[in-house]
Chains A and B, each alone.
Chain A
């Protein structure tokens, strides 16, 4: 069953001087319990695609253009009322944001923030919320969750903040999770733990996931299907196996090459492939 269906999504930012066509004709779908990877270079429109689905594009200057369609479980979200979008956000569609500090509230402790998500989306009582928030922090690999619960975001390390935000998003038990670079601040061990947790939630609760990342290694391991985006459009789509075996678009070829070489951080690409990426 299709859970999310995006058709010809175009999200533009109309400024005084320029119109930025951040997303310019994107179509894809995510099935129930399916994990789809979304990759592409910096600035290609991945985050704006995600924000469009959640109804979080700042309007103005942003605007989802006429003819775009985003359907969640058959319900059209483009043009839906602010109230309806609010009821979908968190509860049905959860998002792990790329920059944790932008979505954590500096004046509440992390326990209060996770507790709030639990009460709001799952109707959990205060005392129960406290216990569950400690469990959630533990599940995302925060040591000493009981103590960390009482700290403010600025008192945590970068990697801890990222995990707190993941815990907060998962507290709502969304049907669809949009994870925007969810593990960039984490070492491999913790990263594996988080991705494993997301996997378990997929199989136990059928949670679907749109996984945005620039790390093709993560995609290879966690997704069946992958979308490659460039300049606001999807330039390639297919199974992970097919894309690794036979990447068609030059940018995909380059990403695959980079992911396979051991020191992907700074090595040189094979002769000939560099010129493919303008």
Chain B
């Protein structure tokens, strides 16, 4: 039976993970993720989840254990944030190169130094090129649902890639909302047991020998492996759309697949956001539309794969597009802006708003300001393309 509970974002992620029946779990605590480590430990202690859970000495080992479990053929789960994610960096490439459908929650947090435990997207965004799919969720319900979707997408044999489910530190990890917890039997129907084509356990059962991820030379097949990995990331777009549709049929909720657009059809000024701030932006869009402005909003759910086609379809008729980047690629601009600019390829004007770094507040006023700036900038030519929002210095 489905039932509704008040859960924090971290608890929602944990409930989602529990419903997916991971067999091996290894999580190293870090604010604002620690509650996931604690909740999963509680589930296994109480027998609500039959999984082997490791108390690890580091994130590097956490991901290594999860990689080992998945190579053996078991479903595994982990979670981290910021410094922990950076500490995993070597293993991130390992997981995607081995084509392991690991699901990892990332409680988004700034990247020290200076030391800061509050939210922005610089941790996961800076891991963009590690081969992981990345999805950003807006609220606690989406957090829970997306974990379930993520295992389906990752384990689809057309994909076989790891996924980060990213949720904003504090503004989502520590915010409580009413969340519908779907019944286990329906989740079981939606997500069958993990059955990879190749695994160490299959080799052993078949009494065969082979070596996973052997040393590969320049002129044999390294590039071909990487090409197949690139193809799979591209193919994941179809799977993400399919899984969202099927999820809706089973659970009566949908999240838009790659992106969710809001009043973009007739909008002149469109803002692109990721994660929990979308809720604030949406409220401001409603308000401004009541005032007669033609504004719209896109929630970028998946940053990798990058939904180039969907974005171009929605944005090419806009007068101007703003991107809210809670990250910065030093020496250039925000990462989402850069990717979007290359996708749009001059078909619309784009402005980059850098904001919310290290948990700096972004409220309705800031969003009103961003829409106002879009309107102003749409009539001038030689604008500055990157603007920092809410900066307390000149």
A and B co-occur in one complex? no
